[in-house]
A = this chain, B = another copy of it.
Amino acid sequence: MDEVRHRDREGTRRRILDAACRLFAELGYEQVTMRLISAEADANIALINRYFGTKRELFAEVLAAQGRFPGVLEVPEEELPRRLAEYVADKLRSNQGGPVLTALTRSPGCPEIHEIIKDRVRSAILEPMAARLPGPDALLRATAATALITGAGTLRQLYGSGALDSPDREAVVERLTRVFEACFAP
């Protein structure tokens, strides 16, 4: 029997936004369909367009709802390389980067959301990271580190629990720490 559905505009809107966030973060933009979101949010498809406009706009709102690079950067500068290394080794291990990183590793090359990803990566990752690096070429060094994170995510999604974490975790973290240090060194 059909449950009587509550008439709860804000609640429904939030359920849709949460579902979209989860799905985009797991599958990327193109693999997520409106029908998949509606099923996950237990809401009618038409409501997605009614509340958010187009799929593109919904995606933009999901990314905008994300904060800056999650807490990883809030650390003294000398600990940053190790912290990022652990992030790559652990967080990426469970495919649990946020929607911004997922957009970089699963949905690049989709022209529809090119500008959105571009702006969000800059404001959520590149610029905060560059701001923490003293000395010249801060943006270049932040870009190198971001490239490493991005590429690691791509390979991780390709090979699952292979390669990057098949030896003991400590060896991986140690290696990545040195690489990040090379990215940041003046």
Contact = CB atoms under 8 A, between A and B. Distances in A.
A43 interface: no
Given A117-B158, A148-B147, A175 B109 contact: no
A178 B147 CA distance: 15
Contacts of A179: 144, 148, 179, 182-183
Contacts of A157: 108-109
Nearest to A121: B158
B28 A109 contact: yes
A19 interface: no
A140 B154 contact: no
Interface stretch (A9-17, A55-63, A72-80, A159-167): A159-167
Interface residues of A, number: 49
Given A147-B148, A147-B154, A147-B155, A30 B178 contact: no
A114 B147 contact: no
A159 B77 CA distance: 26
Interface of A: 27-28, 30-31, 104-111, 114, 117-118, 121, 126, 137, 139-141, 143-144, 146-152, 154-155, 157-159, 163-164, 166-167, 171-172, 175-176, 178-179, 181-183, 185
